[in-house]
Structure 1
């Protein structure tokens, strides 16, 4: 396994650097964290910090609107985002490694010299309003907000600080002054940490950081923060929330006088969710109190934290028993030796877990406080001591029954706060429940095994098999995920990343991680997936962002013929590991490409009923020809349309904040995708806007200069370069396999880009507008 080279240092202006080289990756990951968030904003303007995060993308001194970081990264085929949390704000992107320097230049100007124009503020406030409405309907957000209502009075954690029209009085001079003061006070070098991950050497990453952030203003003063008030004592330890999916969530409010919480919390959550024989999950299964715990940190700062634990499979009437079981398990596992062993296992898997992470995920991890064995163990034991008392344990029962309106600041909830109760710990029997099934010889497989790339890195695999039935894909996917959840959790701890997708044609499983672990892990997880099992009930299904739900279901409009038996592809296994994998199957046959997908004509509109008042439309236009020249023109057209799509539908028309566009492959079909969710325009109206947008692009595209065309060519060539990492090569080969295309196809597309003219791109737009094959997934009807 390759060793990772990393460096931590601080520049003269106070910017803390976290740098790491991963020689096998193509993309670079960047995360810049500002040590200020919604709890640092003026209380009279809730949402100001989140609003500023949005405004920074809307133009700076060197890069006016439409030419900033978002447009640049999207033009390079990368991804960019930002998030405002209670005590920090992150700006992140992942893009081709060669473009890391220009991205840093855009980011530096964006953060240091924003325009903050009033007209842009007025437009963006409407975007925030739409985001506020969507988030206020999201079931996860409502549960988070409900748990915080049990905390000690006066906590900002109990406020919904996303920002909306009434909390952002743009016309007020006092608000404008507060906005600029917040920016000047917090967006300074002493408040920033920058993480860079790429194939470049650490020295090269350091030079890039110094060149673009070395002269960032340090700031006049160090920002001093007062210690926040304790989250304890709780107002109550019992809450009831009106929610479509009945179940139980537990909250854990903890308060320590000092200590770095994040490493200890990571190990604690890992243990709570572990389904091994001595874990809490195994005990809950024995007592029939649930099947799984899913946990995350809602808030952690200066010794104060709030955790959320979703008790999957629990029933509302079991709340008291669940609380008692939790406290009983805490009494059993307060032994320092037990946690010292888990700490050593966690430390030993750090490098493997980084192998399984994307460059952006690694960059985020670098900004978290690092584990210090003895200090982390002491903090962990202090947390456990407090948890065992039950002082901060919150019971949230979700029920479809109507609840009174609870006027929480920023977002009213259908919530009742019940009288608190004292619960004695439940004595739990000792047991040893195996959670890794023993391997069995698997059925015949059509398999292709490919050597790794010269740069090394993690190995990768793709597996695909048909479904026994495809009557309810959402239930089937939830059932399969539940069936393999124990294995995926174990694999994640060992640095094996897994991703399962379910379509009508069958399920697809992607894995990557250390090559020496993948054959045995694949054998076990395939045995579970192929074994069959019951579907979950409706309570196990989540209701998230509408647009995300539609995008997940889009493949059903683009199905290739049903998979025939088990199929697989591996990249990066050594000869011995390839032989080990082959021995898992009754018979190994060559992997054959599927037949070409069926062509359709005209407009296919499929309506998907979903809860909530928002509307969303996903339009996919498959590319008819498989020729490299045709794909090159559509790829470039997708890059060209992407920026204009955001600018027109999000910025100018303000239809909604959730949208995406560009060239995509869906199952075996490649084409152009346009998707948007709106809180105030119905599905038919969204589709009409999409049509008008596309029709209006003809005149602008006709003026595309050769210089601009070459910029797009350069960005696309980078995306089509031969893969450095095994997971990227596996992904390329798998998508080519599904499309029935030879491995040489990507090189042919690169060559076709060199010969591409503006006339070819205009012709591609004309073909798109002809509407010969448009496929729509929408939340409403077409009229």
Structure 2
């Protein structure tokens, strides 16, 4: 594989003061923009907590030139991109990703909404209710409350200790004083000198610069306005403290150290290799997890949280603190040469694999000598005694570098070419059958990329599979491969998506782990209700086999996408070591045919949360195309109706979902104020409006949707996911082109037929909710 091109951004400051960061990456299939405003929740007047976040929401509600249904969010969703925004302590970010052909339209809408927001009173009243619902959810979220409690060790007058979540009380939109503060905040900060625009895409640097220049000309010009410096993080000479709650011990350090240096420290604190801090804590049964992270960094102030998940409720804080200090002392006096090389490799590998949006958001810098000096000074300032434990620096990531030698094809491990005759004809035939029967490779994507995807699915595999995946996930991620596990009832799915080069080694390591006894570890963690439902949805759509599971009875199959012949052969070789029997698995899901099945799932939240999954009546391309077009049409109206107009909840979404080759429409709602029965009623009411909505649509969106399935613009990860489900559904290799063609020719009449099928539950309905069924029209799941 050729060496990756350097992706250092080009930094410019335009005539109106807009700072620009440009990244040209020819491998990208999409473009991304990130607009950062140097103003956040800590910059608002003390009288109006939440004003910055409130303004971020209001900017998405449309302008005179681009009303909400033509604004940035609707535009990006219509063209299959992604869009969002985030308000932090001292910054607010707006970001989106789109195909190159539609990117200019996204930039026009972003500039317009930042510069000329409507700020209509009726919009503010509605959006305040949305923020209030978010505030209610936040106030009940265990992780959010733990974060608030964690920061109580800081100085009382530091803004990190303050209240910054908007609600009805803190956002009195009816008062003129608040309206004036809102307009002043927008005028003061939302102008060119206060902004940084980051663009990433396959275009040349000159083309990206031209786009940035056009964008800047739409902005209000203004100077860079310095943000007020915060109060001291801690009083007196104190620089650290401990916080214990909910089986977690937090060691918090405050300092004035560059972000890159702190990221370097956290990377090695978090290392799980033998000889490190976490390994020692586990060996002594003091903690079973460690996560060091930078919570805050602004104006020379930084807060680092070292979070230990305790193994027991015993008094272990003193022992853990002693080991932490001993490790920090060892680290301070170690030679960092190899670690710095490894850290640079990690950063380069992440840039090599990041998509357009992640690349545009990546503002990290190389670790400099000044950063190293600052970190050394921090560690010295802790006045730690000499280390007494035999610590070891973590070894190099084995997946970051190509293997030192490659095994010759057709040889048993340990043989040379002189031994080739020892392999019998029967062995070769058996091995060939094993590879071909279990693992196939799609030729639907060109081999001109260094990215690929590998899907492996087991039926009736033992639970150690998830543990094995977890143990390799971090090293694989660092090497450019996203390794994940998903439970699908009686099936288990492992995905590898990313760079081709490390995949054979990752697969080989996975096979080795699986052929050894695995200690089953719990991976459950608290999450909001709607996410908990999404996690169990695939299992609800499958069947649970009562027979015992073991590798002796397990079967597996796989699909590789994007591998050139050389890597295909290496993957096949590694796959021969996987446990279980290779076989073609049947993925026919239980037919519902008019049934409405209700799955009750317990969640940690009392808020009503509901998912409605409606599979297509068949797996034909005709049905899939019509339902995809229907999902494309109703996505924005569904969000507008339930979230904006009815304000049912803050988690409201719809779209196409595929589960084990089955395509369906998925609707999701979580509400702090409406019951499950109320949510279900509103879903039914919305579906009743679909025939009229389709009849009144001037443009059904055939072309815009069809373009999303072009292999020229579809990111490899998304293309691989589509091809995997097509493989399970039995579609031929030309699936993507065929789907495009059928979507383009899908008629209004065909859409109306699909609506009728949807309303009549022709493919069945599955409701997954955190409460009992709301009526006898639903059949309780077994």
TM over 0.5, shorter chain: yes
Q: In the alignment, is the contact (CA less than 8 A) between 1:60 and 1:113 conserved in 2?
A: yes
| Counterpart pick for 2:494 among 501, 509, 515 | 509
Q: CA deviation at 1:199?
A: 2.5
Q: In the alignment, is the contact (CA less than 8 A) between 1:151 and 1:231 conserved in 2?
A: yes
Q: CA deviation at 1:433?
A: 8.4
Aligned counterpart, 1:266: 263
Change (3 A) 1:254 1:433: closer
Residues 154-165 of structure 1 mapped to structure 2, 5 A cutoff: 154-165=157-168
What is the alpha-carbon distance in structure 2 between the residues aligned to residue 22 and residue 284 of structure 1? 42
Q: CA deviation at 1:333?
A: 0.7
What is the alpha-carbon distance in structure 1 between the residues aligned to residue 467 and residue 328 of structure 2? 25
Aligned counterpart, 1:25: 28
Deviations 1:631-659 (CA, angstroms, capped at 9, x unpaired): 22111111111111111000011011112
Aligned counterpart, 2:377: 382
What is the alpha-carbon distance in structure 1 between the residues aligned to residue 394 and residue 12 of structure 2? 46
Q: In the alignment, is the contact (CA less than 8 A) between 1:436 and 1:524 conserved in 2?
A: no
What is the alpha-carbon distance in structure 1 between the residues aligned to residue 396 and residue 279 of structure 2? 9
Q: CA deviation at 1:561?
A: 9.0
Aligned counterpart, 1:465: 458
What is the alpha-carbon distance in structure 2 between the residues aligned to residue 532 and residue 207 of structure 1? 58
Q: CA deviation at 1:454?
A: 4.9
Aligned counterpart, 1:316: 313
1:428 aligns with 2:389: yes
Q: In the alignment, is the contact (CA less than 8 A) between 1:354 and 1:495 conserved in 2?
A: no
Deviations 1:65-118 (CA, angstroms, capped at 9, x unpaired): 332111111111222111100011111122323211101111010111100111
Q: CA deviation at 1:771?
A: 2.1
1:721 aligns with 2:721: no
1:333 aligns with 2:334: no
Aligned counterpart, 1:225: 227
| 3-state SS of 1:552 partner | helix
What is the alpha-carbon distance in structure 1 between the residues aligned to residue 396 and residue 586 of structure 2? 36
Q: In the alignment, is the contact (CA less than 8 A) between 2:489 and 2:539 conserved in 1?
A: yes
Q: CA deviation at 1:380?
A: 2.4
| 3-state SS of 1:49 partner | helix
Aligned counterpart, 1:298: 295
What is the alpha-carbon distance in structure 2 between the residues aligned to residue 315 and residue 99 of structure 1? 54
| Counterpart pick for 1:535 among 513, 520, 523 | 520
Q: TM-score, normalized by length of structure 1?
A: 0.86
Deviations 1:436-476 (CA, angstroms, capped at 9, x unpaired): 899999x966112346625413233222223446xxxxxx6
| Counterpart pick for 2:723 among 712, 729, 733 | 733
Change (3 A) 1:65 1:362: same
Residues 604-623 of structure 1 mapped to structure 2, 5 A cutoff: 604-623=597-616
Q: In the alignment, is the contact (CA less than 8 A) between 2:489 and 2:540 conserved in 1?
A: no
What is the alpha-carbon distance in structure 2 between the residues aligned to residue 516 and residue 163 of structure 1? 47
Deviations 1:304-340 (CA, angstroms, capped at 9, x unpaired): 12223332353332222112211111111102622x4
Q: In the alignment, is the contact (CA less than 8 A) between 1:298 and 1:305 conserved in 2?
A: yes
Q: In the alignment, is the contact (CA less than 8 A) between 2:239 and 2:253 conserved in 1?
A: no
| Counterpart pick for 1:766 among 743, 747, 756 | 756
What is the alpha-carbon distance in structure 2 between the residues aligned to residue 669 and residue 284 of structure 1? 45
What is the alpha-carbon distance in structure 2 between the residues aligned to residue 174 and residue 518 of structure 1? 59
Q: In the alignment, is the contact (CA less than 8 A) between 1:353 and 1:495 conserved in 2?
A: yes
Aligned counterpart, 2:358: 361
Aligned counterpart, 1:669: 662
Q: CA deviation at 1:236?
A: 8.5
What is the alpha-carbon distance in structure 2 between the residues aligned to residue 268 and residue 57 of structure 1? 38
Aligned counterpart, 1:744: 734
Aligned counterpart, 1:598: 590
What is the alpha-carbon distance in structure 2 between the residues aligned to residue 158 and residue 108 of structure 1? 33
What is the alpha-carbon distance in structure 2 between the residues aligned to residue 615 and residue 644 of structure 1? 22
| 3-state SS of 1:583 partner | helix
| 3-state SS of 1:685 partner | helix
Residues 536-615 of structure 1 mapped to structure 2, 5 A cutoff: 536=521, 541-559=524-542, 565-586=555-576, 592=584, 594-601=586-593, 602-615=595-608
Q: TM-score, normalized by length of structure 2?
A: 0.87
Q: In the alignment, is the contact (CA less than 8 A) between 1:457 and 1:726 conserved in 2?
A: no
Q: In the alignment, is the contact (CA less than 8 A) between 1:35 and 1:192 conserved in 2?
A: yes
Deviations 1:520-548 (CA, angstroms, capped at 9, x unpaired): 122113433564534335xx631111111
Q: In the alignment, is the contact (CA less than 8 A) between 1:57 and 1:70 conserved in 2?
A: yes
| 3-state SS of 1:231 partner | coil
Where do 5+ consecutive residues of structure 2 fail to align?
A: 404-411, 414-430, 546-552, 775-782
Change (3 A) 1:740 1:295: farther
CA RMSD of aligned residues (A): 2.8
1:495 aligns with 2:492: no
Larger Rg: 2
Aligned counterpart, 1:3: 5
What is the alpha-carbon distance in structure 1 between the residues aligned to residue 490 and residue 350 of structure 2? 31
Q: Which has the higher contact order (CA 8 A, sep 6+)?
A: 1
Aligned residues: 723
Aligned counterpart, 1:649: 642
Where do 5+ consecutive residues of structure 1 fail to align?
A: 391-423, 470-475
Q: In the alignment, is the contact (CA less than 8 A) between 2:723 and 2:735 conserved in 1?
A: no
Aligned counterpart, 1:237: 241
Residues 617-636 of structure 1 mapped to structure 2, 5 A cutoff: 617-636=610-629
Deviations 1:566-623 (CA, angstroms, capped at 9, x unpaired): 3222334443333333222447998746343231131000111112221101000000
1:182 aligns with 2:172: no
Q: CA deviation at 1:183?
A: 0.7
Change (3 A) 1:123 1:728: closer
Q: CA deviation at 1:486?
A: 4.4
Q: CA deviation at 1:230?
A: 2.2
